Amino acid sequence: MSLSLFITGTDTGCGKTRISCALLEALARAGTSVTGMKPVATGAERINGLLLHEDVKALVATSNVAIPRRYVNPYLFLPPCSPNIAAQQANTVIELAVIEEAFASCQSRADAVVVEGVGGWCVPLGDDLWIEDLARHLKLPVLLVVGIRLGCINHAVLSARAIIESGLPLLGWIANVVDPATVEPAAVINTITRHIDAPRLAVLDYSSTASAAQLAPQLSGCVDALRRHCTS
């Protein structure tokens, strides 16, 4: 039984990597062999001639299965911009077949693959190719991370509707408080809860220091939802 899923977010900086790493930790504690995967990443650093990315580094560090980096992150670009623009600048075409092969390699080595998207649900990867197409191609259930801050109600509701309209299962969503100055965060979260047709699986308070190990216990509901989906 594969416990793989796709994690998307309301936008850049909503906490997808934070949640992905915490979920990897939670799955590992439940006795699952797990690996993170970020098929496409932009905004890398060049260190000693190599392109490195903090999100990919965090996913690898939290995984309990060692997998070659080329499978964990098949497409990595230097400029911090939309993937379609970064790929064009690099004279590269992002191909679903390449990502599918990398995903299959990860899945053959681990019981669960936590696939983290880039940006939000409607981020372009190329001409007429979107993050939605990637998730649909991999046929994965989706977990939505909502960064709780000003404007997030609109982003959350539109994202959830788009995921549901794609035909993929929306396992649920996580409220991740990213701005401590958010006015009435509980009221914001309650408003989103009433207008998203999927369960709220966790609420993570603002923290700039909490580790994946510290956050993992709060994501037991996500693990349960994933197991129910995979056995239904």
Question: Which residues make beta-bridge pairs with 34?
Answer: 112
E strands, the chain, where? 5-9, 34-37, 40-41, 45-47, 50-52, 75-76, 112-120, 124-126, 129-130, 142-148, 170-177, 200-204
Q: Which residue has the tokens 């709220």?
A: 200
Distance of CA 189 to the CA centre of its chain: 20
In b/e form, how buried is each residue of 143-169, taking b as 16+ CB within 10 angstroms?
bbbbbbbeebbebbbebbebbeebebb
Beta strands at 50-52 and 75-76: parallel, antiparallel or unpaired: unpaired
Q: Quick one: pLDDT at residue 2? A: 80
| Two tokens, residue 160 | 């959830």
Annotated catalytic residues are 38
| Whole-number pLDDT of residue 82 | 97
User: pLDDT by residue for the chain (232 residues), tens digit each?
Assistant: 689 999 999 999 999 999 999 999 999 999 999 999 999 999 999 999 889 999 999 999 999 999 999 999 999 999 999 999 999 999 999 999 999 999 999 999 999 999 999 999 999 999 999 999 999 999 999 999 999 999 999 999 999 999 999 999 999 999 999 999 999 999 999 999 999 999 999 999 998 889 999 999 999 999 999 999 988 7
**Stated pTM of the model:** 0.96
Task: Give me the residue spans of the domains in the chain.
Answer: 5-231
What's the CATH fold of domain 5-231? Answer: Rossmann fold (3.40.50)
CA separation (Å) from 6 to 11, 120, 153? Answer: 15, 12, 21
